[in-house]
Structures are given as C-alpha cells and as structure tokens.
Amino acid sequence: MIERRFEPISLADLNAKAEMLTRLDNKYVVPMEVLERASLRLAKHFDILEIDGKRSFGYRTQYFDTPDLCSFRHHVQGRRRRSKVRTRHYLDADICFVEVKLKTRRKITVKKRMAHDPDMLDRLNEPAARFVDDAHHHLYARGGLAAYDPVMQMQYERMTLVARTGGERLTIDRSLQFWDDRCSERISADMVIIETKSAFGRGIADTVLRAQGNHPVGSCSKYCIGLAALGIAPRYNKFMPAFRRLLPHLARDGPEHLADRLASFDQPMARCA
C-alpha cells in the first residue's frame, strides 16, 4: 500500500511543522498508478499523518451557498475576492468545524475555522453564522454573502503528507462521493485528487509530479466539481481539464452519457453581485 512507504508523523507534529492555513495551492487529477510511481520519490522527503495506527481518514463536508449560488459563481468568474463556507466532520476523530476559505487579491488561500457540533453539520447556528461574517470582515472589511443554505454534501478518504523541511503539505483524496436530496455521484477509487500546499506554489511535490509529465488542472474545486456532477450548477470550460479526467470514472452514468455531459459545458452565466 502507498501509505506504508512513508514514515509516520503525529497530528501535533504535523501542525507544528506545516499547519498551512495560508498557502498557495496546486491541484492534480491523476490515476492511482501515477501516485504509485510518484510516492517512491515523495517518501524521501515527506512523512505521513498517522493517528492511532491509521493513515487514511474519512472526511464528510456540508457546503453552503446562496440560493443563486453566488459562491460558486464567484469562483467560476475568477473573482480575486471569493470564499467558500462549509462544515466539516472529521469522521475518525469525531470532531467538526465550521470553515471559511477565502482568497486574497494575491490568490493566496486563507482558511479560518471554529469548532462546530457534528450533529448540526447541515446547518449554521448563530455562533457559526457570526463566525463566517467575522471572517469576511477581517479579510475583506465587509460581511459574507446575504444568506447561506445547505447545498451539497461530500465524503472522501484523505491521506496527508508533510515535508520534513520547508513547511510543505500534500493531501491525497480518493473515493469521492457527492450528494444532495435528489441524487448522488461517486468517483471510483482508482482516481485521486492531489493538492500541493506550499508558500510559493512551487514545492517538492510539484517538482516530482511535473517531472513525470503531470501538470496542475486550472481549476479543480471539489465543491464546484460536485455541483456540476450532480447537475445543481452548469458546467463550464473552466473545469473541462478536471472533468475530462474524472467523468469516465463517475459511477452513476455509463460511458454512453459522457459526450452529452461534456457538451453541457460553456453555458451562459449571469454575474453575481
């Protein structure tokens, strides 16, 4: 197994080395066999998060957006100031947070989070809503979007690597599932989404992956991908590189539907205020 190639690191030591709440990200969508090859080199530089003997952990996430999906639209439009709001349940540790991810004008991701009741995963109570608003005020000098509704849930397994030097992190997500109250989709476990997180976006992992001929996809927000896969939001050319790699591995639709799904990109989109 890939995860057994790495030396373990505890959560406390990982956070002390590379909590990376402010970082530049690159995302890669690759088959497991690519990760298998890359792991031989990555193991020379990275340790893997291990808790109670486990090295792969379940995450369940509820995303929130406005009724007209302004958060999604801001991402598609490439707004320099944009945010995502979610609650996340770390299933193995049974802890939960409300999390706000914000982009600065320099395209740096800033993540803020606060403890949240896992039994309230699908809603924002008053303290959570106030925290979301305060996070926006702190960075943008204005509040969050006018109203947030639960839009989509997602679950996946994650491995987390941390570089022994340099404060770099790497996450590997697989077995992704998306659902709302109408339908669900899942991506087969032979495809992974790798996200590199480093201070300047040019870390060791990026060098290893690029040396094998892999390049970041222009946009691979799991939130946006999930909305598009479920048919909640239209699909746009911005996501085409990621979709071309993921669509053949979606479990609900067979290959005969692939052309129709790709043809549904590039629809007109109203701008959000």
Residue 34 domain boundaries: 2-263
Overall number of domains in the chain: 1
The three state secondary structure string of 104-146 is CCCCCEEEEEEECCHHHCCCCCHHHHHHHHHHHHHHHCCCCCC
pLDDT of residue 269: 40
Domain assignment present for residue 177? The answer is: yes
Domain assignment present for residue 8? The answer is: yes
Q: Residue 129 sits in a domain of what CATH number?
A: 2.40.320.10
Domain assignment present for residue 268? The answer is: no
Domain assignment present for residue 273? The answer is: no
Strand partners, 8: 48
The tokens for 48 are 């893997």
Domain assignment present for residue 223? The answer is: yes
Q: What is the pLDDT along the chain (273 residues), one digit of tens a residue?
A: 788 899 999 988 888 875 555 567 888 999 999 999 999 999 999 999 999 999 999 999 999 999 889 888 888 787 878 889 999 999 998 999 999 998 877 777 788 999 999 999 999 999 999 999 999 888 887 777 778 999 999 999 999 999 998 778 999 999 999 998 888 888 888 889 999 988 777 789 999 999 999 988 866 778 888 888 888 876 555 666 676 677 666 665 444 444 454 444 444 344 444
Domain assignment present for residue 272? The answer is: no
Domain assignment present for residue 117? The answer is: yes
pLDDT of residue 247: 66
Q: Measure the CA–CA gap between 52 and 128, rounded to whole angstroms.
A: 30
Domain assignment present for residue 143? The answer is: yes
